[in-house]
Amino acid sequence: MSATELPRDFQSLQQLIAARAQAMPKRLAQVAAYALAHPDEIAFGTAASIALTAEVQPSTLVRFAQSLGFAGFSDLQEVFQSRLRDRVLSYEERLTHLRAETKVHKAAVLFAGFSEAAEKSLAELRVRLDGEKLEEAVRLLAKADTIYLIGLRRSYPITAYMSYAFGKLGIKTQLIAATGGLAAEDVSFASKQDCVLAFSFAPYASETLQLVEAASKRGVPLVAVTDTAFSPLVPFAKLWLEVAEANFEGFRSLSASMALAMTLTVAVAERRGIDIPT
C-alpha cells in the first residue's frame, strides 16, 4: 500500500484493521484488538505505556503499524489522534477538574461522570457506525417472520426494551431470557425465515454465544451488535454492528447501545410501512 493510499481518517483505518485482522499473526492480532477497543489509549499513550497495557513488546506496535503500510507506530498514532483534535477537553480532563472542586457533592460527581461516559459513548458510535451496514441490518430484520432477541446479563435491558417497543408496533418478536432454563428451547424454534438479533460485549455471556452458534448451525440469519471485530459473535453473524461503550467507576454506559436499539426498532417498523405513533 502506497503512502497516498494509507487511511488518514479513523473510520477508514478501523475498516482496514478489521479487514486484515483475521490474517494477522497472534501478537499483531492482539494489538489490533486492543487498538479497536481502546482508541483513546492509542491516541494519547506512549509506545511503552501502550505496549504495557496491551501486553506486548513495543517492537510489536511498530510491526503492527508497518503491517498496515505505515512507516512506524507514530505515523499510525496520528490517525488515532486526528479524531480527538476538536475536543475542547477530554473526558478524563473534565473529570479531573470536577473532582478538584471539593465543594461538589459525591452524588453530583457521579452524575457528571456517568453523563460524560454516556456522551463519550454516543460520540464514539457516531464515528464508528457504518451507515450502509445499518441499512442492511434493518433490511434483514424487516423481512424476518419473527425477530429473536438475545441479550443476557448486561445486555438484557437492551433486548427487553426492544421487545416492548416492537410489541407496541405490532412486530412479532421472541425475547430470549436466561430464566427457567428455556433459552435454548426457545431459540430452537427459529427458522431461516426468521432473524436473530444478538447483543453481547466483553466479557461475553457464554450462553449468548451458545445460543448464537446453535441458531447459526441451522441457517438462521444473525445480526450481531458487539464491541470489536474480534468478538466471538462475529464469525456467526451475517452482519455485525460495532458499539463501544465508555465506562465510569467500572460501570459501562448503555447509552449508545440503547440509541442503536431505538434506531433499529423504529427503522424496521418504517421499512415495514408501519405508522409510527407520535
pLDDT given at position 44 = 76
Report the pLDDT value the prediction gives residue 86, as an integer from 0 to 100.
44
User: Which pLDDT belongs to residue 274?
Assistant: 78
Residue 114, phi then psi, degrees to nearest 5: -70, -35
pLDDT of residue 14: 81
* pLDDT value, residue 236: 92
pLDDT of residue 33: 87
Strand, coil or helix: what is 99?
helix
The burial class, CB within 10 Å (0-12 / 13-18 / 19+), for 277 is exposed
d(CA 126, CA 24): 28
CA distance linking residue 160 with residue 206, whole number of Å: 19
pLDDT of amino acid 104: 56
Residue 89 has a pLDDT of 45
Pick from 263, 242, 257: which is nearest to 15 by CA? 242
Cα 129 to Cα 20, 124, 132, 205, 263: the distances in Å are 19, 8, 9, 23, 12
The pLDDT value recorded for residue 100 is 58
Q: Report pTM.
A: 0.68
Q: Measuring CA to CA, which residue among 103, 133, 101, 96 is closest to residue 225?
A: 133
Beta carbons of 224 and 241 less than 8 angstroms apart: yes
Task: Return the C-alpha cell found at 76.
Answer: 499510525
| Cβ(224)–Cβ(250) below 8 Å | no
Q: For position 102, what pLDDT does the model report? A: 47
- Domains of the chain, each with CATH number or no CATH: 3-82 (1.10.10.10), 131-271 (3.40.50.10490)
The alpha helices in the chain, defined as continuous H runs, are 10-20, 26-37, 39-44, 47-54, 58-67, 73-82, 91-100, 106-128, 131-142, 156-168, 183-187, 206-217, 255-271
What are the 10-residue block averages of pLDDT along the chain, 278 residues in total?
Answer: 65 82 87 84 83 89 90 86 56 56 66 86 87 94 95 92 94 86 86 95 87 92 90 90 84 90 95 75
